[in-house]
């Protein structure tokens, strides 16, 4: 069953409640009335930036669409009782302030009742808010001698100097700059990202690689004169520098991909198949198990099935498969399980399925890669009926 939904707006779910002081509520009221001073606006922004749960709460309060959607809930609240609870919660307070709050309540009843409902409930139970953040530029460099270097998004930094190559880190990119001809034996480095990390790499020949989360690339510091061979586990996007004398070979657990200069994406995360998508140029695929070979053209994807070591060639929208390198998620009729594997790697969370049947649902949509995970989960819920319950770093998936 296919579900289509374009999600480019933010919809927040309640993941927990926390008691915020009355002064912040006062600032939110002023914001809703358009009467915030510049100092008060700066204070409110600072409060929102201090904790993701603060921003979620503030956005929830100012979203008129959310208010309208939940108005039936507010209608069930006794207005006078709600105001009495609110006044009790903000005591002691200046008489003028309390009178002003009554005045504001006439114009902002949905906000007032929503805040009161939240305050009453928060007195009953304090539920910790799970903070799940998108991935960022971070990785680990493992040198030939086993030494490990943590990499981040810092500005230019000299990581290591070797006799034949200089290794530099610059704004989320690790680059190898040959200093002289290498007559020594080839030494390999490994760039590794954990879940919630990504990094870019410029090899000694100028080839550029985008390494996705939970991935690993092993490569020589300087290539030999015969070939350029690297080893990939996970997902990476390659922009290979042309060299007619030395083929560029990407070796994965199941296949080899051979090129002379082209742009392509390889994904080994799927347990059923390894996928290679070609954007420019031409690549040859070889399945290691039976030596079967296949050449593909731009706009095609080679699906190398693990079960029978076969290759299926499909015409695809390449942008869907390389959107992650441009800060986007794009899903086109993809299985829910495959989508959640992607989210698991990027947001560093685990998904627990209450029913295995939901894994086979299909979903289409696009969103920014650096948004909160609740944005996409709410969109999937709206399109498929599947619900998500966040419990720490684990998300429970169930069919409503």
User: What pLDDT sits at residue 216?
Assistant: 97
With beta carbons less than 8 A apart as the criterion, state whether 234 and 253 touch.
Answer: no
User: What pLDDT sits at residue 107?
Assistant: 47
With beta carbons less than 8 A apart as the criterion, state whether 260 and 241 touch.
Answer: no
pLDDT by residue for the chain (400 residues), tens only, comes to: 444 444 333 333 333 333 345 677 778 777 877 778 888 888 888 888 877 667 766 776 665 434 434 444 334 434 444 445 545 554 555 544 554 554 454 445 445 545 544 544 444 344 344 588 999 999 999 999 999 999 998 777 888 878 788 999 998 999 999 877 655 668 899 999 999 999 999 999 999 999 999 999 999 999 988 899 999 999 999 999 999 889 999 999 999 999 978 999 999 998 889 999 999 999 999 999 899 999 999 999 999 999 999 999 999 999 999 999 999 999 988 999 999 999 999 999 999 999 999 999 999 988 899 989 998 999 999 888 899 999 888 999 998 7
User: What pLDDT sits at residue 130?
Assistant: 56
Which listed CATH number (3.40.50.10880, 1.10.3210.10, 3.10.20.30, 2.60.120.1440) goes with 136-320?
Answer: 2.60.120.1440
User: What pLDDT sits at residue 38?
Assistant: 84
**DSSP symbols for 324-377:** GGGTEEEEEEEEHHHHHHHHHHHHT-EEEES-GGGGG-EEEEEEETTS-HHHHH
User: What pLDDT sits at residue 163?
Assistant: 78
What ranges in the chain are assigned the alpha helix state H?
A: 22-33, 38-50, 52-62, 64-69, 71-75, 79-90, 95-107, 109-124, 318-322, 336-347, 373-384
CA 278/CA 322 separation, integer angstroms: 10
In the numeric block, the tokens 């061979």 are attached to: 229
DSSP classification of residue 358? G
Query: Strands across the sheet with 350-353, in order?
Result: 350-353, 394-399, 386-391
Q: Are 136-320 and 327-399 in the same CATH fold?
A: no
The correct answer on CATH 3.55.50.30 for the domain covering 327-399 is yes
Domain ranges, ordered by start, for the chain: 17-124, 136-320, 327-399
Q: Residue 33: which residues within 8 A CB-CB, separation 6 or more?
A: 104, 107, 108
Neighbours of 247 (CB within 10 A): 16
The DSSP bridge partners found for residue 285 are 257, 294
User: What pLDDT sits at residue 53?
Assistant: 64
User: What pLDDT sits at residue 111?
Assistant: 53
């Amino acid at each position: 069953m296919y579900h289509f939904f374009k999600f480019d707006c933010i919809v927040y779910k309640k993941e927990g409640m926390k008691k915020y002081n009355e002064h912040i509520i006062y600032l939110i009221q002023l914001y809703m009335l358009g009467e915030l001073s510049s100092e008060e606006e700066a204070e409110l922004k600072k409060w929102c930036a201090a904790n993701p749960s603060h921003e979620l709460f503030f956005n929830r309060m100012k979203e008129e669409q959310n208010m309208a959607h939940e108005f039936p809930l507010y209608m069930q609240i006794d207005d006078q009782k709600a105001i009495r609870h609110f006044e009790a919660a903000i005591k002691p307070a200046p008489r003028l302030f309390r009178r002003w709050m009554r005045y504001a309540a006439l114009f902002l009843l949905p906000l007032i009742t929503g805040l009161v409902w939240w305050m009453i409930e928060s007195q009953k139970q304090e539920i910790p808010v799970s903070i799940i953040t998108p991935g960022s530029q971070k990785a680990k460099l493992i040198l030939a001698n086993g030494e490990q270097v943590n990499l981040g998004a810092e500005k230019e930094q000299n990581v290591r100097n070797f006799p034949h190559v200089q290794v530099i880190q610059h704004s989320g990119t690790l680059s190898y700059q040959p200093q002289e001809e290498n007559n020594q034996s080839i030494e390999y480095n490994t760039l590794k990202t954990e879940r919630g990390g990504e990094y870019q790499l410029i090899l000694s020949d100028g080839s550029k690689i985008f390494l996705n989360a939970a991935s690993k690339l092993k490569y020589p510091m300087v290539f030999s004169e015969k070939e350029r061979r690297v080893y990939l586990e996970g997902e990476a996007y390659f922009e290979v520098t042309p060299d007619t004398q030395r083929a560029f070979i990407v070796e994965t657990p199941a296949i080899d991909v051979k090129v002379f200069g082209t742009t392509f994406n390889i994904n080994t995360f799927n347990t059923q198949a390894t996928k290679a998508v070609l954007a420019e140029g031409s690549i040859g695929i070889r399945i290691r198990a039976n030596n079967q070979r296949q050449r593909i053209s731009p706009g095609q994807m080679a699906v190398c099935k693990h079960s029978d070591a076969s290759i299926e060639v499909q015409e695809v929208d390449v942008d869907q498969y390389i959107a992650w390198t441009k800060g986007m998620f794009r899903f086109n009729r993809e299985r829910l399980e495959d989508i959640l594997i992607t989210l698991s790697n990027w947001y560093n969370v685990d998904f627990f399925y209450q029913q295995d049947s939901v894994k086979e649902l299909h979903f289409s949509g696009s969103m920014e890669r650096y948004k909160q995970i609740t944005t996409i989960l709410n969109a999937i819920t709206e399109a498929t009926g599947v619900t998500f319950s966040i419990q720490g770093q684990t998300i429970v998936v169930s069919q409503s």
